[in-house]
Structure formats: structure tokens, C-alpha cells
Amino acid sequence: MIEVSNLTKRFPRHEAVRGITFSVAKGEIVGFLGPNGAGKTTTLRMLTGYLPPTSGSAKVANHDIFRESIAARRKIGYMPENVPLYDDMRVREYLRFRAELKGLSGRDARRRVSEVIETCGLEAVKKKMIRVCSKGYRQRVGLADALVHQPELLILDEPTNGLDPNQIRQIRELIRTLADRHTVLVSTHILHEVEMTCNRVIIIDSGKIKAQDTPKNLVAGMRAAGKVHLEVAADPQIVTAALSRLDNVKRVTAEPRDDRWTHYEVLVDSGTDARERISNLVAQYAWPMRSLFRKEATLEDVFVELTRRD
């Protein structure tokens, strides 16, 4: 559905995208992740024809986005980060207007507008002025606009931006249902949502792709695959030194919790579980212990490790 090869975008004083290559297969939901300024939005704007590239190529549904721009854009539904809406129009009126701009008319336009209103949960506000709609409903209107011409590809730039947790959950579920009929490329900072929604993840930083794989494989391949946490009542210096000597332990940090108890975070090598050895060590020294558990690595841990500056 998407084929990107050596795509580059240079501005006068900044190279925003640096020769990236990736593909998205039909029917996939792919998360496009990166810190602020990484090149995410610039890439999405090139894919949707809003920005020309400096070099490289990109195809959508076998149409070159730059040489066959109109044909490619007919296949794309794009929802930008800040959805531009006409506040002085009613929701249904606005969607009918947008449908006509995208080549629909008459009965087809009315049918599609009714379908996207139902799909995006806009029945309650379809006759309201857009300016009185909440942030959550405005995001839904933007998504309905992107869907109204039945595109094969949906490109969503921060679709949950500014929403509360309940609204984020609703948009997530909506995106998952859309995957039955659309390929979805979604840029977001909500990494937990990506883990629950996306088949695959592409991580970009400083204009370059740092990793692309399934969330599960990215987590499994982390250098720091997990952390063990425990609380012990003993001299922190002695405990830290003893924990640090254990096999596969990379780093130990201590944080006092009160006059007696100290919390320890033990960073271990990928694919190892140090809990049994830690438990035996605590028993050997007869230290009082009130908790011991392992925190599994998450996509957030992968993201931080690949993009941190320290």
C-alpha cells in the first residue's frame, strides 16, 4: 500500500527527513513514532502530497505520490494533527461539503455522509454547529472527513491529541474497527495505545528510521529487556554492592522510602530473570523484604532507549 525509498526533505537550515525507506502492506495498522522534531509530520505531509521531497520516492497504491499526485491522493484519507474545520457549519453540512469536494455527489454523497456519521459516532451532534462541539467530537468530525470518500489508506497524525482517557479509548477502538476496510498509518505519542492497536511500529528520530518491527519483537530485542524491583530494610550501600555483583545485573539504583525501607531497581540483561538469585541473596543475608517483582519491558522503554540523548 505504501512504498517509500530513500525519501529526503531538506529545508534551508535543517534536514528534516534523511533518506528513509519503509513499506506498509495492505490491511496493516502501523504506528509511526518519534520524539518532537523527529520528522514524523514532515514525512506524512510528503506522503499526502502537501510537501514535495528533496529526493527519493514514495508510492501509494502503486501511484507515485509526486508524479501521479491526484490519483494517489484519491486513495488517501488524511487527518492532520490540528484538524482544520469550518466552525460556522453544521457537522452534517460540513461532511456533505467535504464529500462533494472529494468527487461525490447526490445519493452517493448523502449515503457516505450518513455512513461516516454512524461509523464515527456523530449522531448526537450531526445537526450542531461545529464551533459548539467538544474536542473529542471535533476529532471525530476530522476522522469522518478523512473517511468520507472511502480511501484505501488512512493517514492519521496524532488523532488522540488533546483528548481525555475515555475519548482516547473510543478513538482507539474506532481505529481498530477501521482496519477491516482500510490500511492505517498512525502517528501518535500514546505508546500504550500503539501496543494495543498496531500490528507494526516504525520509530524515527532525527530524520532517520531507528527501528521497525512488531511491538512484541521490538520489546524482545531491547538491550535492557526488564527490571526487577524490590524493597529491603538494610544498609543501602551493602545491598547495592551485593546486588551489583550478581550475574547479568547491569545497574542498581536505590531510593529510600522511609526511615527503614529502601526501594531498589535492578536493570538486567535481555532475556534474563534475576528474581530467584535476588531472593536467595536476600535470604542469605537475612534482610527483611516486603516486595519483589519484575517489570516487563514496554514499547515506551524501547522508544526511550532508541531516542534518548544521554
Distances from the Cα of 38 to the Cα of 25, 42, 43, 203, 208, angstroms: 23, 9, 10, 9, 8
Whether 92 has a pLDDT exceeding 80, the answer reads yes
Mean pLDDT calculated for residue range 280-298: 90
CA dist 277 and 286 (Å) reads 14
DSSP percent split of the chain into helix, strand, coil, nearest 5: 35, 30, 35
Residue 246 grid coordinates: 550478581
Question: Residue 240: what are its φ and ψ, rounded to 5°?
Answer: -60, -45
Contact in structure between 306 and 203 (CB atoms under 8 Å): yes
Query: What domains sit in the chain, N to C, each tagged with a CATH number?
Result: 2-220 (3.40.50.300), 226-307 (3.30.70.1340)
Distances from the Cα of 73 to the Cα of 3, 24, 155, angstroms: 14, 16, 11
Mean pLDDT calculated for residue range 241-261: 91
- Dihedral of CA atoms 149, 150, 151, 156 in degrees, nearest 10, equals 90
Whether 254 has a pLDDT exceeding 80, the answer reads yes
Considering all CA atoms of the chain, what is the largest pairwise distance in Å, rounded to the nearest integer? Answer: 80
Report the percent of the chain where pLDDT is more than 70: 97
Dihedral sign (CA 133, 137, 138, 143): negative
Q: Which pLDDT value is given to residue 309? A: 65
Closest CA to 221 of 236, 211, 235: 211
Whether 225 has a pLDDT exceeding 80, the answer reads no
Q: Which pLDDT value is given to residue 222? A: 64
**Among 60-74, 97-111, 220-234, 249-263, the least confident range:** 220-234
Average pLDDT for the chain: 90
Residue 256 grid coordinates: 529510600
Whether 50 has a pLDDT exceeding 70, the answer reads yes
Contact in structure between 133 and 87 (CB atoms under 8 Å): no
What is the pTM assigned to this prediction?
0.79
Length of the chain (residues): 310
* Order of strands, sheet of 76-79, starting from the edge strand that comes earlier in the sequence: 76-79, 153-157, 183-187, 29-33, 200-205, 208-213
Q: Which pLDDT value is given to residue 169? A: 83
Three-state DSSP at 172 gives helix
Contacts of 48 (CB under 8 A, 6+ apart): 65, 73, 76, 78, 155
Contact in structure between 171 and 163 (CB atoms under 8 Å): yes
Which comes out higher in pLDDT, residue 83 or 162? 83
Q: Which pLDDT value is given to residue 175? A: 83
Q: pLDDT tens, 139-186?
A: 999 999 999 999 999 999 988 877 788 888 888 888 888 877 899 999
Report the percent of the chain where pLDDT is more than 90: 63
Q: pLDDT tens, 106-120?
A: 999 999 999 999 988
The conformation of residue 7, written as its DSSP 8-state character, comes to E
CA dist 286 and 283 (Å) reads 5
Which comes out higher in pLDDT, residue 309 or 88? 88
Q: pLDDT tens, 181-223?
A: 899 999 987 787 788 888 899 999 999 999 999 988 887 776 5
